[in-house]
Structure 1
Amino acid sequence: MPQFLVVREFPPGLSEADSEANFARGITGSFHYPEVRWHGTYGVSTPDRIHGFCVFEAPSPETLLAHAQYCGVPFVEIREVAEVDPRTFPTVGVEVPAEGSLFLIERRMDPALSDDELEALSFRSANCLAGFPGLGWERSYWDAERKVSRCIFRSPAPALVREHATRVRIPCNSVEDVTFVDPAAWAWLYDQFGLPRHWESSRS
């Protein structure tokens, strides 16, 4: 099923109660749109801005749009993406770190970048991780139309993320601390509404 990012932005000072209400509205909306599956949310919060994106699977952008409008949670846009799993690229001597902060890296690629060149960059990025102890590439979301990649890394510091990008010769337009909300944290609400725990079978 196609994968999408629902890009969101909220005013500074969003309360924890309002944030939880937004998650609850999004989840309960799946009662009416069971084909829409939420796979997690990445959020960046600063004193001036709260933004991020939610990862969904849906049959079509129209179905996801209907779900988003029904839930009433503010969003900026919906983008179709391809998820890139670093485990599909061979690495040598790389251990995924258990500790460290999560970082969201935005990479704006050359518009003329070909699919083969993108694969070569991904291979090089994964293969260079062995030289950066403590750095782990968790996954990326590739927007082919805009040639933009949103990468999730785990690292003890943002400087290590930038150093890796320099070594690999890959764009690193922004690096931001990010938090991740997993659907499993809301399993009780899925159970309450009789919704399937889709993450237990569709994601490893």
Structure 2
Amino acid sequence: MPRYLIERDIEGAGLMTPAELKSVSQTSCSVLNELGPQVQWEHSYVTDDKVYCVYRAPNEALVREHAQRGGFPANRISVVSSVIDPLTAE
């Protein structure tokens, strides 16, 4: 199944409290439960004004539907073509 990197512009994302992050996570999981197991959230990175999320889904349309239902921006969605790390150099 394809992996997607979703870039979300969220002003002040890095200032969100643990309670706010928990609430956003709960909303995301609730929508994922509605969509079924074909859309999977792997993890997210929170920076100052952006959140980068990694998802697995059969297509981009389901990633966009998750964002719409959850009320999250999905400013850019990119298909991950490869993953590299230090082991790639060996």
Query: Match for residue 124 of structure 1?
Result: 27
Query: Match for residue 170 of structure 1?
Result: 72
Q: CA deviation at 1:184?
A: 8.1
The percentage of aligned residue pairs carrying the same residue is: 36
Query: Match for residue 106 of structure 1?
Result: 7
The amino acid across from 1:139 in the alignment is H
Query: Match for residue 161 of structure 1?
Result: 63
CA distance in 2, matches of 1:174, 1:109: 12
Aligned length: 87
RMSD, matched Cα: 2.2
Q: Deviations over 1:97-130 (max 9, x none)?
A: xxx2111100111337632323211121022211
CA distance in 2, matches of 1:139, 1:147: 17
CA distance in 1, matches of 2:12, 2:35: 29
Q: Which structure is higher in helix share? A: 2
Query: Match for residue 41 of structure 2?
Result: 137
Q: Is the 8 A contact 2:44 2:53 kept in 1?
A: yes
CA distance in 1, matches of 2:26, 2:76: 21
CA distance in 1, matches of 2:23, 2:11: 14
Higher relative contact order (CA 8 A, sep 6+): 2
Give the TM-score taking structure 1 as reference length. 0.38
Unaligned runs of 5+ in 1: 1-99, 190-204
Q: Is the 8 A contact 1:106 1:149 kept in 2?
A: yes
CA distance in 2, matches of 1:183, 1:148: 23
